[in-house]
Structures are given as structure tokens and as C-alpha cells.
Amino acid sequence: MLRDITLGQYFPGNTIVHRLDPRTKLALTVCYMVALFAARTWSGYAFMLAVLISAVAASRINGKTLLKSLKPILFIIIFTVVLNVFFTAGDDVLAHFWIFKITKQGLVGAAQMMLRLTMLIAGTFLLTYTTSPLALTDGIESILKPLAKIHFPAHVLAMMMSIALRFIPTLIEETDKIMSAQKARGADFESGGLVKRAKALLPILVPLFVSAFRRADELAEAMESRCYRGGEGRTRMKTLVMRPRDWVALAAGAAVISAVYALFRRLP
């Protein structure tokens, strides 16, 4: 049951989207976010949706997979929408009860917020679906590298991320194993209230933590015995290279932002 988690998953492929430099894709994701929040009109949202759909199409990622991945975040989206409906100030009151007022502005704002959030999350998922975790951490490290001058631990951060990514499947597997072992002894994880379920999880977490610490110890020793001593003097087998297609893609990203600012900023 833990294997269904698709968050942060990578679907290998060989499309133009897959082949872009991870730094380009990170920058494009930021462009996309900025444009998404700058857009203020319905046609603006339609435009951004078109941008998203064409990116998804170019990456050959299954649209259904992308939609499914939104499920775990549905709660957050609904929560934000509800907040927006009830707490947006406005004078076009449609309904009124107790301290709540539902206004036309509130409904419009909520609908827009829902669109924004959904598209925002879908866009970032597209990034992780088309970029290997390793490439992503390499990209982040490379972008943050200039900050090393002010003693920002860019390499440490990237190393931590890549080790976390490396061990997520291992720990999920281990959790599964511990759970089956406990189930075989009569443990019940699926019924009862929140407190009861949380209590049932304790016998899983304890061995999991113990083993995670042991793994961390052993991994540290193995890394040191393979001459690891931090980022200094380290080279990489695969160096990141910006190709013409990356510059074209970045130009397209800039064009989207400019278009949004020029055409879709009029407040409704």
C-alpha cells in the first residue's frame, strides 16, 4: 500500500522536456509559477492552462497520471478554496448566515485559487516526472553554488537530498516488511480512531528509526572509506551543459511571463 506513493516520482523518457538541462527546467518552473500568479483574468488562466497542456503533451506524460497525483493534495486545495469562499471581503453578498458571508467576489476568488493551485502543483509534478532526482539535485547544487562564497552549504544540501532520495525506496520497503511482520502477529493498522491508529504505528516507527540510524552510521563509514570529504575538490562524471535548446526554452519562458504581464493583468 505504501508503494502507490507517486510524489516525486520520475518517469524516464527521451522527449525534449526530459533532455532539457535540469537548471533550465527549474528556471522554467519558476517562470511558470510567476506567470501563474501574475495572471488575473480568465483568459489569462486559459492561456496558462494551454501552456501547461502543451508542456505535458511535449513530455508525453500521461495526463491521467498527472491528475491522479493531485489526489493526495486535494485536501489542501479544498481547504484553501473553502477559506477563500468564506473570508473574501466583497459587497455582492449572495448568502449570509451567522458570521459568514458568501460573496460573488469570494466565489470567483475561490475558483481562481483552485485553478492556480491545481495548475501550480501539476506544473511542479511535471518537473519531477521528467527530471531524474539525481539531475534535479545536481541542478539545485549548480544553481546554489555561487552562494558557497557566503558559506552557504550548497554541496551538503544537495548530498543530503540525494541520499534521502536514494533511501526512500529502501525505507519504504523496510516499513512494508515491518508492517507485515506486525500484522502477522495480529497488529491492526486499518481500524479504530485516529489515536488508536497512531498508537498502532508506534511499533513500526521504533524499529524503523533504530534501523535508519544504523544505516546512517554504516553509510557514513562506507562514504568515508570511499574518500568522501565534502564538496571541495570533487569532480562530477556528468557535468551539466547548457545547450542551444536550453536557451530557446528559457526564452520561451521569458516570453510567457511577458505575455501574461502585457495581456492578462487587468483585474476582473
Partner 1 sequence: MPFITVENLEYAYPAHEDGGEAFTALRGVSLSVEEGEFVAVLGHNGSGKSTLARCLNATLTPTAGRVSVGGLDASDEANTFEIRRLVGMVFQNPDNQIVASVVEEDVAFAPENLGVPPPEIRRRVDAALRTVGMYEYREHAPHLLSGGQKQRVAIAGVLAMAPRCIVFDEPTAMLDPRGREDVIGIIRKLRDENGVTIVLITHHMDETLGCDRVYVMNGGKIEVSGTPSEVFTQVERLRSIGIDAPETVSLLYGLRLAGVDVPLSALTPDECAAAVADAYGKRVSPADSAD
- Where does this chain bind partner 1 (CB under 8 A)? 132-134, 162-163, 165-166, 169-170, 173, 214-215, 218-219, 221-229, 233-239
Q: How far apart are the first and last CA of the chain?
A: 45
CB of 16 to partner 1, least distance (A): 20
CB of 133 to partner 1, least distance (A): 6
Task: Work out the burial of residue 69: count CB atoms within 10 Å of its CB; fewer than 13 is exposed, 13-18 middle, 19 or more buried.
Answer: buried
CB of 211 to partner 1, least distance (A): 10
Beta carbon nearer to partner 1, 8 or 203? 8
CB of 129 to partner 1, least distance (A): 16
Beta carbon nearer to partner 1, 113 or 134? 134
Q: Please check whether residue 66 is in contact with residue 56, taking contact to mean a CB–CB distance below 8 angstroms.
A: yes
Q: HSE of 178 in the Cβ direction (CA atoms, 13 Å)?
A: 20
Q: Please check whether residue 256 is in contact with residue 54, taking contact to mean a CB–CB distance below 8 angstroms.
A: no
Q: Please check whether residue 136 is in contact with residue 128, taking contact to mean a CB–CB distance below 8 angstroms.
A: yes
For residue 103, list its beta bridge partners. 93
Beta carbon nearer to partner 1, 77 or 168? 168
Beta carbon nearer to partner 1, 163 or 187? 163
CB of 167 to partner 1, least distance (A): 9
Q: Which residues contact 43 (CB under 8 A, 6 or more apart)?
A: 263, 264
Beta carbon nearer to partner 1, 71 or 214? 214
